[in-house]
Structures are given as C-alpha cells and as structure tokens.
C-alpha cells in the first residue's frame, strides 16, 4: 500500500484544477481535502472514494490497465503501477492509489511551470 500524503492530494487537486480550501485529517491519520471551504461533509478523497478517483481519472484522461496482481494507470507522460492481492477491494484500492499518484505527478509538473 502506497502512502498518499496531504501533499499528494494537493498536487492531484492542482492537476484537476480544483481549488483547495482546507486539509482535513481523518481518523487513522488519513487526509482529505475540503474543496469549497464548507465542512458540510463534502470532502474530496480520491485515495479512499471510488467516485472521486473516477472523476479525477476522467478529468485528467488517466486510463487503467489491469493485471492479475497489479493495476497500472497511464496518461500522456506517466504510468504508475500499484500491486494488489487480486481481491476486488484491494484491486480498487490499488487503482485509486495509482490514479492519485499519476495525478499528483501532473500537479507537480504544473507547479514547476511545465506540463
């Protein structure tokens, strides 16, 4: 399991053009982002939520490739491979993590002034 940090989430949000208002710490040390500054339960957590990850993947045109023990996501410049144990819950976890890591790399390039 790959550690998704608050910086990773912020970079992924930057890549998707989503303004971040606040970082929220959840139980277990996990983080999520409050995108609208209104902590009404609407937080963005693509590393934990399949829907948030799917919307991020669509927005950045990140495509999945599946293997029996891995999932890879690919955009125009990057590909990220994350291992899973073959069960559906772990496969989805690996896919979410790969999407967030790929998006964060795009965000890092944007922050540095390139694409």
Evaluate the CA torsion angle 37, 29, 17, 92 in order and state its sign: negative
Please say whether the beta carbons of 20 and 35 come within 8 A.
Answer: yes
Q: Tens digit of pLDDT for each residue in 2-61?
A: 788 888 988 998 898 887 766 666 555 555 555 554 445 567 889 989 999 999 999 999
| pLDDT of 96 higher than 90 | yes
State residue 86's pLDDT score.
92
Please say whether the beta carbons of 12 and 46 come within 8 A.
Answer: yes
Residue of 42 and 106 predicted with greater confidence: 106
Domains of the chain: 6-111 (3.30.2120)
State residue 115's pLDDT score.
56
């Amino acid at each position: 399991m790959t550690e998704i940090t608050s910086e990773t989430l912020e970079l992924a949000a930057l890549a998707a053009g989503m303004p971040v208002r606040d970082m929220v710490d959840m139980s277990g040390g996990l983080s999520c982002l409050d995108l609208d500054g209104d902590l009404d339960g609407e937080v963005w957590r693509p590393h934990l939520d399949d829907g948030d990850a799917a919307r991020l993947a669509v927005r950045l045109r990140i495509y999945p490739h599946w293997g029996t023990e891995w999932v890879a996501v690919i955009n125009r410049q990057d590909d990220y491979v994350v291992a899973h144990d073959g069960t559906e819950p772990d496969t989805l976890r690996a896919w979410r993590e790969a999407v967030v890591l790929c998006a964060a790399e795009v965000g890092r390039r944007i922050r540095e002034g390139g694409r």
